[in-house]
Structure 1
């Protein structure tokens, strides 16, 4: 299983997304998968935090 994205990448993604880039465009800038970028964009739209989930 791959590692979670770092908090630095998550915060950079949020900045790019809020500046007007689409989730996929921000993902391309940060070299993360389109699926991960879409999920992060959805979390921002919902108002959820971007912290990684806790693994039991």
Structure 2
């Protein structure tokens, strides 16, 4: 995983806890999870384009 070992991950976790505080970590995790879900949903959706030509109203002629 990007060449990060256990010690590096622990150091990153400690820095995150110091910066954001332990009370905000669940909110941050929830936000990141939501962003990942939305990204996956957006990339998996098919882009549907309506290519049928529009018929002109005969009363306009």
TM superposition score normalised by structure 1: 0.30
Q: Which structure is richer in relative contact order (CA contacts within 8 A, separation 6 or more)?
A: 1
Higher gyration radius (CA): 2
TM superposition score normalised by structure 2: 0.28
